[in-house]
Amino acid sequence: MRALNDLVDVAARAAERGANFIRGARPPVVSAWTEKSRHDFVTQVDREAEELIAETLEDLVPGSEVVGEELSPTAPRTAQVVWIVDPLDGTTNYLHGYPQYAVSIGALVDSVLSIGVVHDVARDIAYRGARGLGAWSGEKRLTVSGLREGKHALVGTGFPFKQLEGVETYLKQFAAVMRASAGIRRAGSAALDLADVAAGRFDAFWELTLAPWDVAAGVVLIREAGGMVTTLDGDEDVLENRSVVAGNPELHRWLSDLLRNA
């Protein structure tokens, strides 16, 4: 099997190829947007970016499989190396020219989440991590925030914009976090939110429902940066359209307790 540091290099190359394509593409006009579900848009740019990314991954790691948000979301995940790809996380931001969107590539190696690369397209910044090897941006090693008290925390979040039946629960949580923290931010790209936790810019993060391709890469980054990521119930498996709570160990515990009691 390919070494993990080799696989993370492959993921970084594929993510950079996707990011370069997106950066050079012209955002489509409104009439060309497709709404997969309420408030969830996809365009030809997403699809073509995923094709390029998948081609790169499969060429460089023969026999690997790609689970991609747009083209292969139900792929079986049976290969030794399974890539979990979001070719454009933050499509709505991209369509409106709001510079917060990314390519996200995680990988299961022998069924264990082991590789994570998030490429910030607008800023051309890559974050990369591999199980047991740390998380990095360029030559800088990523480390989660050292804050210990929730009252000082800047907390990232994502709104339940597709599952509107969860809004009332979320609003109770939002109010509780707003009262207990220094502030809340919602920028619209979970992959970049999780990278911000890994880099220590966000002290914690939560969202009620995220897909595997939204979180796979970011989970690796945070864990390798010394943080924790679980569901709201404390389960470490967050790859099945589940809730996500992330932060350093102290603030992860603080936020989980706060949300459960909201």
Which tens digit of pLDDT belongs to each residue from 154-182? 999 999 877 667 789 999 999 999 999 99
In angstroms, the Cα distances linking 12 to 7, 66, 188, 206 are: 9, 15, 22, 26
Q: What pLDDT does 42 receive?
A: 72
Q: For the chain, how far is it from start to end, CA to CA, in angstroms?
A: 46
Q: What pLDDT does 124 receive?
A: 98
99, 105, 51, 214: CA torsion to nearest 10 = -60
Return the closest-CA partner of residue 11 out of 133, 97, 122.
133
**In the predicted model, what is the mean pLDDT of the chain?**
94
Residue 258: pLDDT above 90? yes
Q: Give the rounded percent of residues in the chain with a pLDDT score beyond 90.
A: 84
Predicted TM-score (pTM) of this structure:
0.94
- Angle, helices 249-261/167-180, rounded to nearest 10 degrees: 130
- What pairs with residue 119 in β-bridges? 103, 126
Query: Per residue in 124-159, pLDDT tens?
Result: 999 999 999 999 999 999 999 999 999 999 999 999
Identify the weakest region by mean pLDDT among 37-41, 107-111, 142-146: 37-41
Residues with Cβ within 8 Å of 100's Cβ and at least 6 positions away in sequence, in order, are 90, 93, 122, 187, 188, 189, 192
Query: Per residue in 96-107, pLDDT tens?
Result: 999 999 999 999
The structural domains of the chain, ordered by start, are 4-141 (3.30.540.10), 150-261 (3.40.190.80)
In angstroms, the Cα distances linking 152 to 146, 254, 259 are: 11, 12, 17
